[in-house]
Structure 1
Amino acid sequence: MHQIKSKLLLTGAAVIVAFSFGLNANAARMDMVDVSNNNGYMSTAEYVSMRNEFGVKAVTVKISEGGTYKDPYAASNIANVQAAGLYINGYHFARYATKAQAIAEADFAGQTAKAAGLPVGAVLATDVESQEANNQTKTTNDRNNTAFMQEIAKFGYRSDIYTSGSWANNKMTIKGKTGWIASYPYVATGKNWYSTNHAWQWSSTAKFRISYGGFDVSQLNSTYYTADQKSSVKPTDPSAVHQNNQTANKHQQANSSAKWVKESKTYTLKTAVKLRTGASTSSSVITTLPAETTVKTDQAIIQGGYRWVRQPRFSGYGYLATGPANNTLEYVKISVSNTYYTVKSGDSWWSIAQRNGLSMYSLAHQNGKSIYSTIYPGNKLQIN
């Protein structure tokens, strides 16, 4: 890893409470939050609340994706996180499949991060969970990840790899004292998961008091994402931090018990996707469905870091991932035929989106609105 410690004061002032791992030892801690355009605009006040009431020490914001996408909230997130006195880092959602593409994406991510104000010395991680990476061998992914991280160092950023627990050391090598690993156990309490790695993301549905929606939260098992520094800044209410962390663990236990939901939809694939015997990347591959294949589904579920759908077949079912677990449809085009939902009394963007396997931002966008638009009973919303 590339340890660059110049200008570290720009990364933020605060590590909350002593960084001892004894704090709230029986519960997974909410040390770090990662945010993107899916979370919408995040104010300084929201980050201060995360710091003071939940013990958050660092925030990692989405910077870019592939070779063209720039997260529109990156600059405001970076500025507001720093204003709240938290350590700031960034991540790039990788789409590369070759070494040349990895270098090109690193140059794009580095330039985008600089323009958005990510300070020198921050971590700029590569988020490796795409279908492009899934289609590569472990050797190829290792080569591509190394090329990305070496190129990122030229911009003055430290680097790391984010991936799922099922991919770590299967789809790519994650050495000890490196890595940010996502794994959502049914019971987060009582075990320090991935203790030899920098960070463990243990929930994607954490709630914060004054922020809307669910958030990805991670426990830090080293000081890598806080620039190996400590600070005297502390939460205003340490007892609240303890209680809020305990509550988040209990909610994780409830939320992590994923259930299949009815989804009668027709999709057209925009990239080749593997059809499997079960809703897991470790399940056997039935076949690889090429781009432009039409797929009819009857159920959907969020589990194992992905959004999965079930396809009825002549004999049994096939399962395919439509995208990461943030509910986005990464690998499919819009449905062949549109389906609409009639708004009822008590509905919200959040409740309608959750019921139909969407993010509320995607739901609002495809209806030409924002999540701040008012919806009324009787309104018809496109839900596919």
Structure 2
Amino acid sequence: MNKHKLKALILTVGAIFMAFLMVNVTSQAARMDMVDVSNNNGYMSTAEYTSMRNEFGVKALTVKVSEGTTFKDGYAASNIANGQAAGLYVNGYHFAHYKTKAQAIAEADFAGQAAKAAGLPVGAVLATDVESAEEQGILSQATNDRNNAAFMKEIQKFGYRTDIYTSGSWANNKMTVKGKTGWIASYPYVVSGKNWYSTNHAWQWSSTAKFRISYGGFDVSQLNSNYYTAGQKSTVKPTNKGAVKTNNQKANKNVSKPAASAKWVKEKKTYTLKTAVKLHTSTSTSSNTIAILPAGTTVKTDQAIIKGGYRWVRQPRFNGYGYLATGPASNTLEYVKSDATHTYYTVKYGDSWWTIAQRNGLSMTTLASQNGKSIYTTIYPSQRLVVR
């Protein structure tokens, strides 16, 4: 064969081969293997979890159980029971505030007891969520490692397996997260084509995933091992594999981009601090400290921004502004809680979205929306709803 024709043929075949590889790489969407839920998501029904399994390929659920040594998630028991009823593997997590070994052990005892009371099955994972900028963020890696180890050793006494959840920017920086361990949160601009944190148990790649019959955005993770499926190969099988593929690809395309451009957004809220927090002169942890606000302080904010790997809120002051770091960029306002500015209504037998909305001068859509639900979500007696 003419060598020029041979060369052309080789180049053509090579181009086709590379194109084939590119198609396969870009078509590899990050999977929605695991969803984590908390009181922020409110009541989640078995039907919602079943839809997640059948239409989106969700295999496992990780439920917030507790926080610090005083907060027990009021929805943990129902989320665990309903997730199990939907056939999902159910795990739990505890939001950490500990700064010493003694505090870590105390929080582990509190979390273990809360998990038992909520019905978390023995053998499930009970992870420690370590991401508080004003607590673990100011400690050395060695101190965080010591505290995490103490927490996890204590948790094992309750019959649970353990793991560490933290952000990608903190893993092996603020604390050690070895290969074949860890649940890492990192939200890239482009999800498809790369298996991030493939040596860790799980990679949380979005906090804004949408599900068909569930209202609001959800944290979703891809499982890179069988650790969160009871240490065995998952037996959870979706009933609509076509929908799973389509929904996963759609979720990959719609993943929210982090605010890399560092634009301020309006956020007029009032919070009560649950721990002491440094008030800075600018959006930098190395900037001067105006004051250390003690736990219980009421903070009114007007704007928020993601910058330097943290989420910041701005507090108007009589002579300018103060700035609070609320956690890693991927985090929402986890370590502060809203001030008691809302009016709640406790659902009674016979109530519906319509009757409660009419009684409080709201539309059904508004009522459902401000509670993180849709009007098609079932409500139950004793459930609390925000009506003001």
Classify the TM-score, shorter chain: 0.7 to 0.9
Aligned with 2:251: secondary structure? helix
Partner of 2:146 in structure 1? 143
RMSD between aligned alpha carbons? Answer: 3.5
Report the TM-score, using the length of structure 1 for normalisation: 0.75
Query: Is residue 63–residue 80 contact of structure 2 (8 Å, CA) maintained in 1?
Result: yes
Greater Cα offset, 51-60 or 255-264: 255-264
Distance 1:305 1:44 in 2: 36
Partner of 2:266 in structure 1? 262
* Candidates 76, 92, 99, aligned match of 2:78: 76
Alignment of 1:1-384 (within 5 A): 26-130=28-132, 131-253=134-256, 259-263=263-267, 271-275=275-279, 279=283, 284-287=286-289, 289-292=291-294, 297-301=301-305, 307-311=311-315, 319-322=323-326, 327-328=332-333, 330-331=335-336, 334=339, 348=366, 381=388
Aligned with 2:293: secondary structure? coil
Query: Is residue 349–residue 360 contact of structure 1 (8 Å, CA) maintained in 2?
Result: no
> Cα deviations across residues 311-369 of structure 1 (Å, max 9, x unaligned)?
5789997642246766447347749x99xxxx998973577x6xxxxx859xxxxxxx9
Greater Cα offset, 294-303 or 206-215: 294-303
Distance 1:278 1:189 in 2: 35
* CA positional deviation for 1:239: 1.4
Query: Is residue 58–residue 86 contact of structure 1 (8 Å, CA) maintained in 2?
Result: yes
* CA positional deviation for 1:294: 7.6
Partner of 2:19 in structure 1? none
Aligned with 2:206: secondary structure? strand
Greater Cα offset, 172-181 or 254-263: 254-263
Distance 2:321 2:364 in 1: 35
Distance 1:349 1:259 in 2: 30
Return closer, same or farther for 1:231/1:254 CA change in 2, 3 Å cut-off.
closer
Distance 1:264 1:46 in 2: 32
* CA positional deviation for 1:246: 0.9
Aligned with 1:81: secondary structure? helix
Report the TM-score, using the length of structure 2 for normalisation: 0.74
Greater Cα offset, 217-226 or 271-280: 271-280
* CA positional deviation for 1:251: 1.5
> Cα deviations across residues 252-284 of structure 1 (Å, max 9, x unaligned)?
14576785322456777564334557657xx53
Greater Cα offset, 314-323 or 283-292: 314-323
Distance 1:82 1:23 in 2: 34
Distance 2:32 2:334 in 1: 27
Distance 1:56 1:91 in 2: 18
Return closer, same or farther for 1:38/1:205 CA change in 2, 3 Å cut-off.
same
Return closer, same or farther for 1:205/1:148 CA change in 2, 3 Å cut-off.
same
Return closer, same or farther for 1:264/1:236 CA change in 2, 3 Å cut-off.
closer
Query: Is residue 279–residue 293 contact of structure 2 (8 Å, CA) maintained in 1?
Result: no
> Cα deviations across residues 95-135 of structure 1 (Å, max 9, x unaligned)?
11111111111111112211211111110100111232223
Return closer, same or farther for 1:56/1:25 CA change in 2, 3 Å cut-off.
farther
Aligned with 1:101: secondary structure? helix
Q: Structure 1 unaligned segments of length 5 or more: list them.
A: 1-21, 354-358, 362-368, 376-380
Query: Is residue 90–residue 124 contact of structure 1 (8 Å, CA) maintained in 2?
Result: yes
Return closer, same or farther for 1:360/1:261 CA change in 2, 3 Å cut-off.
farther
Greater Cα offset, 167-176 or 266-275: 266-275
Q: Could you tell me the percent identity over the aligned residues? A: 73
Query: Is residue 263–residue 298 contact of structure 1 (8 Å, CA) maintained in 2?
Result: yes
Query: Is residue 270–residue 333 contact of structure 1 (8 Å, CA) maintained in 2?
Result: no
Amino acid at match of 2:63: V
Q: Structure 2 unaligned segments of length 5 or more: list them.
A: 1-23, 343-360, 374-381
Amino acid at match of 1:242: K
* CA positional deviation for 1:216: 0.7
Distance 1:214 1:123 in 2: 23
Partner of 1:7 in structure 2? none
How many pairs align?
334
Amino acid at match of 2:116: K
